[in-house]
């Protein structure tokens, strides 16, 4: 079964540093997403991406964050000047509008655990 | 965000029990309702979705939506230890983004 792959599985960074979280969505999917889950809290929407541009973003997704699809397979989330409160699980997801996004929902990756120290 | 509220549990049941998981939502415009299962250190995995009101059954799982009361339910029959996980309800917004509940942690005891 096709999977969304995320790397690394765990990233530790010092406060103030920049991190890049990487994702390989399912190959024929066209919509890509980042969500995050702070420990003990809800999974929260960050941003959606389609046709090489941001479709929607939440209020969490401020100027500290950026996304990019640098090539035909990768989808990245960059967090600049990380803060302690950025520590969370970050999930990438993709969906295929050809099969109906509502019908099949998303496929999520296993996540990257980001720890800011 | 208060779009979706879910009792976080935890919920512990004996093997074979019927499990009822519930959520409420705030906006009557929502049309699509999803249930995800999340194992420890994994991403959410889609279990079932429903559109508008009514029931949908898939094996031991039944999803139910009552739009009049803005209530979403997931029932698990003949629960198994392998069902032990966190169950997340989610609604799909008009922009096709997901608002999740907090998740209910379920443990099925053999």
pLDDT-based confidence at residue B77 (cuts at 50, 70, 90): very high
Q: Is the pLDDT of residue A102 over 60?
A: no
Cβ-based contacts of A31 with chain B (< 8 Å): 96
Shortest CA gap B101–chain A (Å): 6
Mean residue pLDDT of chain A comes to 91
Are B71 and B22 contacting, i.e. CB atoms less than 8 angstroms apart? yes
| A:B CB pairs within 8 Å | 58
| Residue B83, φ and ψ in degrees, nearest 5 | -80, -10
pLDDT-based confidence at residue A53 (cuts at 50, 70, 90): very high
Q: What is the pLDDT of residue A99?
A: 54
- As a dihedral over the C-alpha atoms of residue A50, residue A51, residue A52, residue A56, rounded to 10 degrees, the angle is -30
CB contact under 8 A, A108 and B51: no
Strand B71-76 vs strand B61-66: parallel, antiparallel, or unpaired?
Answer: antiparallel
Q: Is the pLDDT of residue B9 over 90?
A: no
3-state helix, strand, coil in chain A (%, to 5): 10, 50, 45
B98/A contact by beta carbon, under 8 A: yes
pLDDT > 90 in chain A, percent: 74
CB contact under 8 A, A105 and B46: yes
Range from A35-49, A75-89, A102-116, B7-21 carrying the lowest mean pLDDT: A102-116
pLDDT-based confidence at residue A4 (cuts at 50, 70, 90): very high
């Amino acid at each position: 079964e096709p999977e969304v792959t995320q790397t690394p599985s765990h990233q530790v960074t010092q406060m103030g540093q920049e991190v890049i979280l990487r994702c390989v969505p399912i190959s024929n999917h066209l919509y890509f997403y980042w969500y995050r889950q702070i420990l003990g809290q809800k999974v929260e929407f960050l941003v959606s991406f389609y046709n090489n541009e941001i479709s929607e973003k939440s209020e969490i997704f401020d100027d500290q964050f950026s996304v990019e699809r640098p090539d035909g397979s990768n989808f990245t989330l960059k967090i600049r000047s990380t803060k302690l409160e950025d520590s969370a699980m970050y999930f990438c997801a993709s969906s295929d509008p050809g099969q109906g996004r509502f019908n099949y929902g998303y496929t999520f990756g296993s996540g990257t655990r980001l720890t800011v120290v | 965000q208060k779009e979706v509220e879910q009792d976080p549990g935890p919920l512990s049941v004996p093997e074979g029990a019927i499990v009822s998981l519930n959520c409420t939502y705030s906006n009557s415009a929502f049309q699509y309702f999803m249930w995800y299962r999340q194992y420890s250190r994994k991403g959410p995995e889609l279990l079932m979705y429903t559109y508008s009101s009514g029931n949908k059954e898939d094996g031991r799982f039944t999803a139910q939506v009552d739009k009049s009361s803005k209530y979403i339910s997931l029932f698990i029959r003949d629960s198994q230890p392998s069902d032990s996980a966190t169950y997340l309800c989610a609604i799909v917004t008009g922009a096709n983004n997901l608002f999740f509940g907090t998740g209910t942690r379920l443990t099925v005891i053999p």
